[in-house]
Amino acid sequence: MSLRVVFLGTAGSIPTTKRSLPAIAIRRKDELILFDCGEGAQRQMIQARIGFHRKTKVFITHMHGDHVLGLPGLFQTMSLLDRDKKLEIYGPPKIKAFVEAIQQTVQFTLTFPIEVSEIEKAGLICEEKEYEIHAIWTDHGIPSLAYALIEKPRPGRFHQEKAKSLGVPKGPLWSRLQHGSTVKLPDGRIVKPEDVLGPPRPGRKIVYTGDTRPLEELVELAENADLLIHEATFDDELIERTRENGHSTPSQAAETAKKAGAKWLVLTHISARYKEPKLLLEQAKKIFPKVDVAEDFMEIELPLLDKNY
Ligand code: ZN
């Protein structure tokens, strides 16, 4: 089952000819999850061929304009395309007032319901059947969140031979065992899922930092992440400026990835001063080898790992 990350905007603060403002799309089954919604996000979505009619959740990290000003345009485009599915928005305090202000002042007809959840407490903020979203507060000067998308473990592999040898007739009973239910056979014997299933298979984990200084809680959030998307606004030489502005350098991002045991680090929120990101990449690579600098429209596919089972 595919889990695809599309970087829609990878700039920090102001857009450049090559980089749009922060927005990351994650496509999972029939659902779209957006992390941040910088200006022009909807045009980037068109270019990346991401539809506007999917079940969609938007997670805003903080209320700095570069991360949130794409919402009005997104609402308008979705409405003009007659979206009718609910749009869920999660974000820090003031996100509700912002969305209400758009609806009250911008003249357009909204064709779909919007549900806004203002996050007040870190922790589990959204639970679905197959995944959870966790949030922590970061260190950025204003209330700012980092998010983790964590897939729940899937039931282990179904061993047909074991089911057959236990005399479980093929059909609905197989299916119930596969989905984790205990079943009673026609002759009265009980068969438990663990009798016929391998160990549970782990899901995938993606962490997005938003804007932040280095933070111990971030290391915890990113523990064993398959993908850590970390801001790296300025390079290591500008560490003082980075600290003053509540950001991170490539080395700091790489340290977090290393301590967390993340599998893959992608740097984003790149300052307009870097016409080309080689320097940022080199600085991070010294500490954490599996690293890339995001570009607009870069795509990452995270496969399900079934190894060892
Ligand atoms: Zn910011």
Question: 89-114, pLDDT tens digit by residue?
Answer: 999 999 999 999 999 999 999 999 99
| String of DSSP letters for 205-270 | EEEE--S----HHHHHHTTT-SEEEEE--S-GGGHHHHHHTT---HHHHHHHHHHHT-S-EEEE-B
Q: What percent of the chain has pLDDT over 90?
A: 92
Confidence of residue 308 (pLDDT cuts 50, 70, 90): very low
CA of 115 to the centre of ligand 1 (A): 24
Average pLDDT, the chain: 95
Confidence grade of residue 201 (pLDDT, cut at 50, 70, 90): confident
pLDDT value, residue 156? 87
Q: Quickly state the pLDDT bin for 1 (edges 50, 70, 90).
A: confident
Distance between CA atoms of residues 156 and 309, nearest Å:
8
Over residues 223-237, mean pLDDT:
97
Query: Distance (Å, rounded) from C-alpha 75 to C-alpha 140?
Result: 27
Contact 122, 135 (CB under 8 A): yes
- Residues 37 and 17 sit within 8 Å (Cβ to Cβ): no
- With cut-offs at 50, 70 and 90, classify the pLDDT of residue 159: very high
How many whole angstroms from 63 Cα to the centroid of ligand 1?
A: 8
Mean pLDDT of 238-265: 97
Predicted model pTM: 0.92
- Are 185 and 173 a contacting pair, CB within 8 Å? yes
Could you confirm whether 66 is annotated as catalytic?
Answer: yes
Please pick, among 30, 36, 66, 84, the residue that the annotation labels catalytic.
Answer: 66
Q: Kindly give the distance from the C-alpha atom of residue 140 to the centroid of ligand 1, in angstroms, as a whole number.
A: 7
First to last CA, the chain: 17
What are residue 6's DSSP bridge partners? 25, 299
Alpha carbon of 244 to ligand 1 centroid (Å): 12
> How many angstroms is it from 36 CA to the middle of ligand 1?
11
Q: Identify the residue whose tokens are 């949030």.
A: 135
Q: Tell whether the model's pLDDT for residue 55 goes beyond 50.
A: yes
Helix (H, G, I), strand (E, B), or coil: what is residue 115?
strand
- Give the C-alpha separation, 7 to 182, whole Å: 43
Q: Report pLDDT for 309.
A: 39
Query: Residue 179: what pLDDT?
Result: 85
* Residue closest to 205 by CA, chosen among 153, 258, 248: 153
Q: What is the DSSP string of 61-79?
A: ---SHHHHTTHHHHHHHHH
pLDDT-derived band at 306, boundaries 50, 70, 90: low
Q: What is the phi/psi pair of residue 67, to 5°?
A: -100, -10
**Rounded distance from Cα 142 to ligand 1 centre (Å):** 8
β-pairing, 55-59 vs 31-35, is parallel
User: What six digits make up the tokens of 43?
Assistant: 């045009």
HEC string of 272-288 equals CCCCCCHHHHHHHHCCC
Query: 3-class DSSP state for residue 21?
Result: coil
Question: In this predicted model, what pLDDT tens digit does every residue of 256-283 receive, in sequence order?
Answer: 999 999 999 999 999 999 999 999 999 9
Whether pLDDT at 153 is above 80? yes
Give dist(CA 88, CA 115) in Å, integer: 5
Q: Taking the mean position of all CA atoms in its chain, how far away is CA 156?
A: 25
